[in-house]
DNA sequence: ACCTGAACACCGTTCAAGT
DNA sequence: ACCTGAACACCGTTCAAGT
């Protein structure tokens, strides 16, 4: 058995990033520190700084690694563009479920460099299908942007629900959390929040995943409608 | 002249939050520390902790204050629902331009408590107009969520452009930044990023604000189309 | 070229003590 | 009830020194 032990594996940027993702997944952003990292990798901080410029770069690298992995799924041969878009979007959605830190980090990453390394990955995966949808080229950027922004927006919002529910005491899970949130909406000031109160029941009963895909369909419907409505625009 | 001096004004949660927003605006998230805060307010850290539980709560409060302000604009009397939605969305968009820290903080806030204090404010403002659009009640939640998520997604992405461009050396402003980003897209691997490369020119020429509103229109088109397509769904 | 680890400047938070 | 400010535990980052 020539099993390589962990401590034998040489230090490298890839290994540091992988360890950072593990730490992020198991302990959360707060616990990702250079101290924790040096311990897990059994080195000194200086060794890590040799491979990585600073903590921001490390977080960017971790985010990009996870996004790249999520978006790399090739669409099935028989998939329609619509199905392919749904599956790319769903891949990203599920990544934010699997890595609760991803959503906030995605936003932070965009703030660091808006059209940096992460956006093109998502943009490419979605855009190919937008093109396949038969959009005129002039609409590609707008349509793909809208789709991507919707997905990022959901990521920021909904993925957190899962993490939130998971953090609740024991069996008080997702459903109970939505119950609480729904009641909070019902308790809002009737004068200031009539609409939100009216919709509290739909919040309670909704399923994040279904909801997310409905939103994707809605944006897709908008893309198709805009493409058809086309030229005439006041 | 009975001008009240700053140091005479008593410490309060509101004043702390207001000072935090100022510090956030002028110096950035990194520089918002309890040290800086105590100096600006000429007190000790203990005094701040009397009014505010911890830094997370302070950031939440700052975020909510800014969002509440941005969304509180009443739609004009003659506005169509579509116009009202555009102006609410634009208000939020402009808030993320005026407060570069807002986008990332919005995401962090959602992660802290997904359906907490910030979401209902946006939800209510957008939802009223969705209702006015004549949607059937069963679609309110989905449609308003999609709209809100799109807006949040853009906030995370585009607002950063402005901050990014502003941080560039002098007159190398927005346009030059987009030029750089566009060239980076053109330099991507042709095999892996055919679509993104094809669209690099549109990235260069686009205007964030116009782009944002086009996306809002696109989602609105989807909402209307879905409402009409209605019941028949495989 | 790559790694070590002590040291530095700084941070959020606490708490006994004051008014 | 509200504020003071020293103290604590911890953090990201640096750097002279090693191999």
Q: What is the pLDDT of residue A77?
A: 83
d(CA B96, CA B104): 10
Does residue B28 surpass a pLDDT of 60? yes
Instruction: Show the beta-strand stretches assigned E in B70-117.
Output: none
Measure B47 CA to D1 C1' (Å): 12
Closest CA to B69 of B99, B105, B40: B99
Strand D, CB < 7 A, residues 33-72 of B: 42-47, 49-51
Say yes or no for a CB contact (<8 Å) between A103 and B107: yes
Tell me the per-residue pLDDT of B198-209, one tens digit each, with 9 for 90 and over: 999 999 999 888
Closest Cβ opposite residue A222 in set B154, B193, B222: B222
Of A115, A153, A164, the CB nearest to B149: A153
- Per-residue confidence (pLDDT) for residue B219, from 0 to 100: 95
> Collapsing DSSP states into helix, strand and coil, what is residue A224?
helix
Nucleotides of D under 7 A from a protein CB: 2-7, 10-17
The pTM (predicted TM-score) of the whole model is 0.88
Q: Report angle CA A13, A18, A21 to the nearest 5 degrees.
A: 125
Q: What is the pLDDT of residues B120-171, one digit of tens each?
A: 999 999 999 999 998 999 999 999 999 999 998 887 776 566 656 665 554 4
Distance B104 CA to D6 C1' (A): 35
pLDDT band at A5 (very low <50, low <70, confident <90, very high): very low
Residue nearest to nucleotide D13 (CA to C1'): A54
The span from the CA of B75 to the CA of B132, in Å, is 12
* pLDDT tens profile A112-161: 776 778 889 999 999 999 999 989 999 999 999 999 999 988 877 765 66
Spatial distance between the Cα atoms of A186 and A172, rounded to a whole number of angstroms: 20
Q: Quick one: pLDDT at residue A165? A: 61
Under the banding of pLDDT at 50, 70 and 90, the label for residue B173 is low
Q: What pLDDT shows up at residue B53?
A: 97
Q: What distance in Å separates the CA atoms of residue B81 and residue B69, rounded to the nearest whole number?
A: 20
Chain B residue numbers with beta carbons less than 8 Å from the beta carbon of A111 are: 100, 103-104, 156, 159-160, 163
| Cα A10 versus chain centre, distance | 31
Could you tell me which residue, B62 or A74, shows the higher pLDDT?
A: B62
**Record: contact B146-A219, CB cut-off 8 A:** yes
To the nearest 10°, the Cα dihedral for A126, A127, A131, A133? 20
- What is the model's pLDDT at position A195? 96
pLDDT at residue A219, as a whole number: 95
Give the distance, in angstroms, between residue A56 CA and nucleotide D8 C1': 27
pLDDT over threshold 50, residue A71: yes
Check residues 44 to 103 of chain A and report those whose beta carbon is under 7 Å from nucleic acid strand D. Answer: 44-46, 49, 54-56
């Amino acid at each position: 058995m020539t099993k390589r032990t962990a401590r034998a594996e040489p230090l490298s940027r890839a290994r540091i990033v992988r360890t950072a993702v593990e730490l992020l997944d198991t302990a959360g952003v707060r616990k990702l520190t250079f101290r924790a990292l040096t311990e897990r990798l059994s080195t000194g901080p200086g060794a890590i700084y040799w491979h990585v410029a600073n903590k921001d770069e490390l977080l960017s690298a971790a985010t990009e690694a996870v996004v790249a992995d999520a978006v790399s799924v090739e669409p099935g041969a028989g998939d329609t563009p619509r199905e392919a878009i749904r599956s790319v979007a769903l891949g990203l959605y599920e990544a934010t479920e699997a890595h609760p830190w991803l959503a906030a980090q995605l936003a932070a990453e965009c703030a660091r460099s808006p059209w940096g390394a992460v956006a093109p990955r998502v943009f490419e995966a979605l855009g190919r299908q937008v093109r396949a949808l038969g959009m005129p080229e002039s609409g590609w950027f707008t349509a793909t942007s809208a789709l991507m922004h919707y997905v990022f927006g959901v990521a920021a919002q909904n993925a957190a629900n899962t993490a939130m529910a998971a953090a609740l005491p024991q069996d008080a899970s997702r459903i109970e959390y939505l119950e609480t949130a729904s009641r909070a909406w019902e308790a809002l000031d009737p004068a200031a929040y009539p609409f939100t109160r009216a919709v509290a029941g739909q919040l309670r009963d909704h399923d994040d995943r279904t909801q997310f895909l409905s939103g994707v369909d809605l944006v897709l419907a908008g893309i198709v409608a805009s493409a058809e409505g086309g030229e005439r625009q006041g």
